[in-house]
């Protein structure tokens, strides 16, 4: 699917709701990767979607770095942010004039806009009805992005192959003792992923040796301390390729282990298999998460985080896989998400197993090969 085809989905909704202009913002403090999803532009900027004089959907990108946009962005028009003094209020006024928005038209701005700034938008756009709402067009883009199109799935096939290769190399280097500190592991991932054509890591690598693996997300993310020594060590990382990120977690296990640690490992692997067996089109993600939660509860354990989440241009996207009461997501073909059951104990350490899953019309495909590695 092309960037234009992605935008066309939104133009149709704009016609249905009689919205003449919508603004997306990716700037410091208010970052929305939907701009990259709809244009390919990897940097900061504002995206305005409206209609030309013939009533056809039309896109205007206002990038902070126009030189980068000229290389990467696929849009109808470009105007440098400096033309509007890098001020969003002047930019949206300019966009309204550019699209010749009729008096009284609906103009929608991002729902994350702070209330004081919203008032400034209202003052700057007195000729229009300014919408700033939950559940609006920005929310619809979230639904669109949750189901990956063929181009995105192709990217994930390549990204997963790179991630799998790097995990195999990591296992070899850790087994040999070449990588024996948290820092060495994290920096190795950073360097090697770039050699393989990635933009970098999708998020800060979390490498926790046995003394720190009890944390869901250890702080700091990694240290110069030992990794993969006796006990349980967790390595959570993702690679970014063509803007998209993978997200996997390996647990490295080195004896001797206590009974409690063995039980944690067994339960985590069984919980992962339970969740995997429940994946299917039309299944509520809350149902899967609740089943895993009940499984751990029956063993007198609890998992202090969600079962998984969608991935894409962000490390955490929709759909959510949690047992929260407000989770209404249902699995659909094209969704790519993680399954990551885990258990953590201040005395015995932690373990987590996380892979990336693609749901297809024929079933699910486990894209990555993360596992619990016994050394």
Instruction: Say if residue 209 is in the same domain as residue 330.
Output: yes
As a whole number of angstroms, the distance between CA 44 and CA 67 comes to: 12
- What pLDDT score does 1 carry? 60
- What pLDDT score does 308 carry? 98
Mean pLDDT of 59-84: 97
- What pLDDT score does 29 carry? 84
Instruction: Say if residue 220 is in the same domain as residue 289.
Output: yes
- What pLDDT score does 53 carry? 83
Per residue in 212-256, pLDDT (tens digit) is: 999 999 999 999 999 999 999 999 999 999 999 999 999 999 999
As a whole number of angstroms, the distance between CA 94 and CA 79 comes to: 10
Instruction: Say if residue 311 is in the same domain as residue 189.
Output: yes
Among the candidates 126, 145, 164, a domain finishes at 145
Q: Which CA distances in Å does 328 have to 287, 301, 316, 324? A: 10, 25, 17, 9
- CA neighbor of 336 nearest in space, from 307, 312, 314: 312
CATH number at residue 45: 3.40.350.10
Whether the predicted pLDDT of 146 surpasses 80? yes
Instruction: Say if residue 94 is in the same domain as residue 206.
Output: no
Grouping H, G, I as helix, E, B as strand and the rest as coil, residue 186 is helix
- 368: its two tokens: 């990555």
Phi, psi of 199 (to 5 degrees): -75, -20
Mean pLDDT of 186-213: 98
The residue range of the domain holding 305 is 147-374
- How much is the pTM? 0.95
Q: How many domains in the chain?
A: 2
Cβ neighbors of 178 (< 8 A, separation 6 or more) are: none
- What pLDDT score does 312 carry? 98
CATH number at residue 195: 3.90.230.10
Per residue in 163-192, pLDDT (tens digit) is: 999 999 999 999 999 999 999 999 999 999
Instruction: Say if residue 13 is in the same domain as residue 121.
Output: yes
Mean pLDDT of 142-156: 97
**Bridge partner list, 22:** 49, 108
Instruction: Say if residue 207 is in the same domain as residue 111.
Output: no
Higher per-residue pLDDT: 223 or 29: 223
Mean pLDDT of 320-338: 96
- What pLDDT score does 54 carry? 87
- What pLDDT score does 72 carry? 96
Q: Which CA distances in Å does 80 have to 42, 269, 312, 352? A: 15, 52, 27, 45
Instruction: Say if residue 112 is in the same domain as residue 173.
Output: no
Q: Supply the mean pLDDT for the chain.
A: 97
- What pLDDT score does 28 carry? 87
Grouping H, G, I as helix, E, B as strand and the rest as coil, residue 361 is coil
Pairing assessment for the beta strands 200-201 and 239-241 based on DSSP bridges: antiparallel
Cβ distance 301 to 323 under 8 Å?
no
- CA neighbor of 225 nearest in space, from 187, 180, 172: 180
- What pLDDT score does 36 carry? 97
Mean pLDDT of 110-125: 96
């Amino acid at each position: 699917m092309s960037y234009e085809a992605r935008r066309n989905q939104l133009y149709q909704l704009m016609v249905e709701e009689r919205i003449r202009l919508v603004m997306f913002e990716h700037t410091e403090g208010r970052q929305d990767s939907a701009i990259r999803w709809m244009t390919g532009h990897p940097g900061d900027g504002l995206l305005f979607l409206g209609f030309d004089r013939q009533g056809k959907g039309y896109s205007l990108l206002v990038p902070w770095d126009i030189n980068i946009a000229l290389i990467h962005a696929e849009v109808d028009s470009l105007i440098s942010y400096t033309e509007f003094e890098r001020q969003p209020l002047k930019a949206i006024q300019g966009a309204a004039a550019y699209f010749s928005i009729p008096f009284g038209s609906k103009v929608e701005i991002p729902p994350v806009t702070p209330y004081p700034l919203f008032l400034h938008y209202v003052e700057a756009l007195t000729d229009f009805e300014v919408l700033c709402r939950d559940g609006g067009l920005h929310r619809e883009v979230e639904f669109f992005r949750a189901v990956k199109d063929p181009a995105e799935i192709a990217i994930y096939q390549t990204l997963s192959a790179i991630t799998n290769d790097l995990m195999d190399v990591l296992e070899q280097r850790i087994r040999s003792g070449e990588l024996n500190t948290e820092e060495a592991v994290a920096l190795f991932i950073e360097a090697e992923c770039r050699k393989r054509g990635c933009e970098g890591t999708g998020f800060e690598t979390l490498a926790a040796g046995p003394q720190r693996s009890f944390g869901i997300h250890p702080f700091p993310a990694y240290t110069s301390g030992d990794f993969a020594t006796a006990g349980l060590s967790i390595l959570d990382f993702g690679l970014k390729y063509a803007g998209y990120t993978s997200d996997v977690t390996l647990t490295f296990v080195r004896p001797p282990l206590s009974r409690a640690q063995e039980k944690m490992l067994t339960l985590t692997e069984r919980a992962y298999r339970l969740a995997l067996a429940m994946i299917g089109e039309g299944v509520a993600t809350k149902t899967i998460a609740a089943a895993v939660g009940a499984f751990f509860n029956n063993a007198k354990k609890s998992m202090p985080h969600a079962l998984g989440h969608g991935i894409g241009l962000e490390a955490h996207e929709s759909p959510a896989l949690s047992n929260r009461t407000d989770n209404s997501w249902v699995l659909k073909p094209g969704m790519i998400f993680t399954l990551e059951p885990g258990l953590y104990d201040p005395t015995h350490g932690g373990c987590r197993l996380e892979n990336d899953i693609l749901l297809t019309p024929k079933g699910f495909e486990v894209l990555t090969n993360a596992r619990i590695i016994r050394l």
